[in-house]
Structure 1
Amino acid sequence: MKSSSKAASSATEMPVATAPRKALTLPPKPAPAVTAPIIHAPTVVPATPAATTTKPVSSPAPRADVPPASGFTLLVDGHFKNQFETLAQAKQAATELKSRFPILRIAVYDAANKERLPV
């Protein structure tokens, strides 16, 4: 029965009334320092012809995974890169690139015969 008397006495206790607290606020910000604005002399840039003319819309860039229809193209690690008109130009570019980067797999693609020529 002791436990019931404790429960009854705690239920009858009234909460202690406290004085209302002041609301919490942030301290006021200091006033910003006023400085004179820096005024730069205006600079006039003459209009260039390239800025005033519009460029014609060109066809999109050729895709690297689609073989070209004509000419000779460098194949670098299986990707089509630069395109050349003659086989001599393509081979010269391929040998120069191979001498600079010997680890690359470089070939010349002949679009007319649809074959790859090793370098």
Structure 2
Amino acid sequence: MKNIHDYLGLYFRLLRKQAGLSLENISYGLSVSTSLLSDIENQRRKMKPELFDRFLDVYKINFDTNDQLWFQSKELLNHVITSFIALNTFEMVAVTQSFERDKNAYKASYGYFHWLLFECFLSCKKSGY
């Protein structure tokens, strides 16, 4: 079973691209090879949490590494999808409001992927899919 640290390479890629940084810039700044970072981004190698933390620190990226936000956002995403399947509109609205209220915390944390999936789900729902 995968844990949150198995996804650090994906977080790294998203954060790097959002910051407008190239692999070359990052590899130089972190004193690691470009090929290592490419392998990490493409899930061929795992990123050690220490390297991820150093990346956040060196590039002053605000990202909450609290694992609890991962589990909390995952639970909310599961809850909204279950409510949708059960056609429980009241419950789905309540969960959606909770997700929206805390979206800034999720966007800057391990809950980021769940937030993206949640946004995609709502977009599809609004489009009638």
TM-score after normalising by structure 2: 0.20
Give the number of the structure whose residues are more often strand, by fraction: 1
Larger relative CO (CA 8 A, sep 6+): 1 or 2?
2
- Higher Cα radius of gyration: 1
